[in-house]
Amino acid sequence: MSAAAFAYPAKSAEAFRTISEVAVELDVPQHVLRFWESRFIQIKPVKRAGGRRYYRPEDIDLLKGIRALLYSDGFTIKGVQKVLKERGHRHVADVGRGDTHLAPAPQVIEKIVYVEKPAAPVKKPRPTHLRAVSDMSLPFFDAPEPVPAVLARTVEDAIAEQPVAEPVMEMVEMPVADDLAERERLEELLDELTGLKDRLQAARERIS
């Protein structure tokens, strides 16, 4: 027999209850009962003319089970929906009658982990016993040593002994050219050869 039958002695155990009567028995506002009805499809009160709701004894037991899961066991709306889906509304109604009990829903505890940023490497100070020496020179920083005079003279002699090519000046019998331009071109070539001879002679004098 439903526990709702003892709350209304003037009504029979199977009599329907109005939403106001159920709100008083569960100690919840009427709008909460309407909200639960929109979230749990298993709550199906009888609706008559004017939209008035009438709850059967099994409806009241289901509402009591939902209230116990939400307020006593700490379940969320989604948690109760999962219980109704997996175990059925009869099981939740048994919770409302006090025939069974569910463990509270596990609470998710967020844990914040702080990761320390590695410290920047400490620059070691330069040892004080190491100091620069002003009169110290490294081999690869020294100025190049001068070439001995005897060796330099030997090089100059070797250059001077090299034969210098001289242009061979030979008398070439030039054919008489009637074309004036051809004659001028030959004269220019002769002037260039003469200039080359002078430059070679000057080079020999510098070397010797």
Domain count of the fold of the chain: 2
Report the CATH number that the domain containing residue 83 is assigned in CATH: 1.10.1660.10
In whole angstroms, what is the distance from residue 94 CA to residue 98 CA?
A: 6
Classify each residue of 71-107 as buried b or exposed e, where b means 16 or more C-beta atoms within 10 Å of its C-beta. Answer: eebebeeebbbebbeeeebeebbbbbbeeeebeebee
44 by Cβ neighbours in 10 Å (0-12 / 13-18 / 19+) ranks as: middle
Residue 61 covered by a domain: yes
Residue 69 covered by a domain: yes
Mean pLDDT, to the nearest integer, of 38-43?
Answer: 94
Query: Which residue type occupies 87?
Result: R
Do 207 and 159 meet the contact criterion of CB atoms below 8 Å apart?
A: yes
In whole angstroms, what is the distance from residue 155 CA to residue 161 CA?
A: 10
Final residue belonging to a domain, choices 76, 97, 118:
97
In whole angstroms, what is the distance from residue 122 CA to residue 102 CA?
A: 59
15 and 92 housed in the same domain: yes
Question: pLDDT tier at 10 (50, 70, 90 boundaries)?
Answer: low
In whole angstroms, what is the distance from residue 87 CA to residue 194 CA?
A: 123
pLDDT tens column, 116-174: 666 667 777 665 555 555 555 555 445 556 655 555 555 556 666 666 555 555 555 55
- What was the pLDDT predicted at 86? 94
Final residue belonging to a domain, choices 37, 64, 97:
97
Question: pLDDT tier at 48 (50, 70, 90 boundaries)?
Answer: confident
- What was the pLDDT predicted at 168? 52
9 and 74 housed in the same domain: yes
Chain-centre distance for alpha carbon 20:
59
Q: Which domain holds residue 59?
A: 4-97
Do 73 and 102 meet the contact criterion of CB atoms below 8 Å apart?
A: yes
Task: Please tell me which residue, 67 or 15, carries the higher pLDDT value.
Answer: 67
Question: Would the pLDDT of 54 be above 70?
Answer: yes
